[in-house]
Amino acid sequence: MAFHRKKQYAVRCVCGPEDNEGRYLIASMGLQVLWSLGLACLDAYALRIKRDLQNPVLVSLFVVGDWVTATLSLAAACSSAGVTVLYAKDVGYCSSSKMQQPLPCQRFQLSVALAFGTWFLIALSSLIMFWLLASL
């Protein structure tokens, strides 16, 4: 009686092997998208009912939300940048001589660059909201 074993195929995440920082970057940017979408819907609703949103309590909520998302985005971008430098320069996972199938490190570098750009824009938004809160 012969036993036939099923072939098992390994699924590799686009983030890289055991790359929790890449997953953290994706989760952080997902939270940023939800936060921005919520603010856009609130702005559209305020325009629809022709109401001013310059309430000190509401603006302080926006400031805190922007600070939280900016901090999370910076932490995710920095940790992903560290892992990308580790893979590309230190361990050599990007070169074909070290691995059978090298990692797409240019994609990692592009995502880290875009994450830092996103963080800069979030920080700028947070600063503008803080100035708006101070002017109320």
Note the pLDDT of residue 97: 64
Count of alpha carbons within 13 Å of 84, Cβ hemisphere only? 22
Note the pLDDT of residue 33: 93
Q: Are the beta carbons of 46 and 52 closer than 8 angstroms?
A: yes
Note the pLDDT of residue 69: 92
- Kindly report the pTM of this predicted structure: 0.72
Q: Are the beta carbons of 19 and 83 closer than 8 angstroms?
A: yes
Q: Are the beta carbons of 124 and 70 closer than 8 angstroms?
A: no
| Backbone phi, psi, residue 97, to 5° | -75, -25
Map residue 9 onto helix, strand or coil: coil
The helix-helix angle for 20-49 and 105-135 (nearest 10°) equals 40
Q: Decide which of 96 and 94 is more confident.
A: 94
Mean predicted lDDT score pLDDT of the chain: 81
Q: Nearest-CA neighbor of 108 among 121, 91, 132, 122?
A: 91
pLDDT tens for 32-88 read 999 999 999 999 999 999 998 888 898 899 899 999 999 999 998 998 888 888 888
Residue 80 CA to residue 51 CA, distance in Å, equals 41
